[in-house]
């Protein structure tokens, strides 16, 4: 392989390692706040847990690399909405968890320069830039450099790839299916609906499957991924932990009841109001002939 490509791969691995560590630590901190769990104070990921976190970030980055530059004049031998069609719902939930985490990091990393809002297309465009871009943004301390990095995202004619839509898309046959997870009394029958767990020793742990099963127990086929009410579970990285860890700590009992909204979801509602107020205040200043950097309650 060419040396520049090897170097690029090494740099991306470093980025994904940092993001994996950050996400796992953040999720663990959230879980420690639950008094009903029996958790140790510090987190040491098992090899299989570390593999799951890294693999999810790599899969997100792979999708973005393949589809973010698509235009009407380019073609890809497979549709973006079929890219994850052979993955079971708990692995799709892993990718959605990673997306939620990256979106939260993007929101925090750019909070001085842009505001956030649910379904904000500008923010989705920034997510398309990939893990290296987001890692650079959250690591950058200079306001001017941060703004320049954000502006660079709008200089490239990116396509309209939407990873959220690709993950949530389902076969037409599932749209009206009212069979719930709990209707499958035999877990083996439920697992048989999806591709077998990979043969690699580190991928055979049933923790992610069990976490997904209890979280979606009462939901039908057409709702087996990406529920808004489960956003806090994704913040807890619920489909990444080993079964032994979950059984020992009591996580499965906690995951059975969707707890509510994550930090990302709650921030969206607050940010919408702040964004509207910001637009209104800066518009007034602009109409009076003012310009420059503005922050709340400061027109100096």
Cα–Cα distances (Å) from 181 to 85, 212, 213, 239, in that order, read 19, 10, 7, 16
Residue 212 reports pLDDT greater than 50:
yes
Average pLDDT over residues 204-221: 83
In a domain, 225, yes or no: yes
Query: What confidence score (pLDDT) does residue 118 get?
Result: 45
Question: What average pLDDT is seen over the chain?
Answer: 79
pLDDT tier for residue 117 given thresholds of 50, 70 and 90: very low
In a domain, 103, yes or no: yes
Query: What confidence score (pLDDT) does residue 61 get?
Result: 92
Query: What confidence score (pLDDT) does residue 24 get?
Result: 97
Residue ranges making up the domain that contains 11 = 3-279
Share of the chain above pLDDT 70, in %: 72
List of long-range contacts for 62-66, beta carbons under 8 Å, 24+ apart:
63/161, 63/163, 63/166, 64/127, 64/128, 64/129, 64/130, 64/161, 64/163, 65/130
Maximum mean pLDDT: which of 145-154, 155-164, 252-261: 145-154
In a domain, 149, yes or no: yes
In a domain, 289, yes or no: no
Number of domains composing the chain? 1
Name which of 21-25, 105-109, 201-205 the model is least confident about: 201-205
Share of the chain above pLDDT 90, in %: 27
Distance CA 188, CA 42 (A): 34
pLDDT tier for residue 182 given thresholds of 50, 70 and 90: low
In a domain, 295, yes or no: no
In a domain, 12, yes or no: yes
Query: What confidence score (pLDDT) does residue 163 get?
Result: 79
Distance CA 107, CA 123 (A): 8
């Amino acid at each position: 392989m060419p040396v520049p490509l090897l170097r690029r791969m090494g740099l991306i691995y470093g980025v994904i390692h940092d993001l994996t560590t950050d996400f796992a630590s953040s999720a663990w901190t959230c879980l420690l706040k639950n008094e009903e769990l029996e958790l140790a104070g510090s987190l040491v990921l098992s090899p299989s847990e570390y593999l799951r976190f890294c693999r999810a970030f790599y899969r997100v980055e792979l999708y973005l690399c393949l589809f973010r530059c698509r235009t009407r004049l380019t073609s890809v031998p497979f549709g973006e909405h079929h890219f994850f069609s052979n993955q079971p719902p708990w692995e799709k939930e892993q990718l959605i968890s990673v997306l939620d985490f990256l979106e939260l990091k993007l929101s925090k990393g750019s909070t001085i320069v842009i505001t956030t809002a649910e379904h904000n297309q500008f923010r989705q465009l920034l997510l398309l830039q990939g893990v290296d871009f987001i890692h650079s943004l959250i690591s950058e301390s200079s306001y001017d450099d941060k703004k320049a990095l954000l502006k660079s995202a709008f200089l490239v004619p990116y396509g309209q790839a939407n990873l959220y839509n690709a993950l949530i898309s389902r076969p037409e046959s599932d749209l009206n299916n009212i069979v719930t997870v709990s209707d499958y009394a035999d877990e083996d029958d439920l697992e048989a609906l999806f591709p077998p767990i990979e043969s690699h020793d580190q991928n055979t742990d049933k923790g992610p499957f069990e976490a997904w099963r209890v979280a979606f127990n009462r939901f039908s086929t057409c709702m087996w991924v990406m529920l808004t009410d489960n956003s806090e579970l994704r913040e807890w990285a619920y489909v990444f932990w080993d079964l032994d860890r979950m059984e020992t700590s009591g996580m499965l009992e906690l995951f059975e009841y969707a707890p509510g909204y994550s930090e990302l979801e709650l921030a969206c509602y607050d940010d919408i109001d702040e964004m509207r107020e910001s637009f209104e205040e800066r518009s007034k200043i602009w109409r009076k002939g003012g310009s420059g950097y503005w922050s709340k309650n400061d027109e100096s």
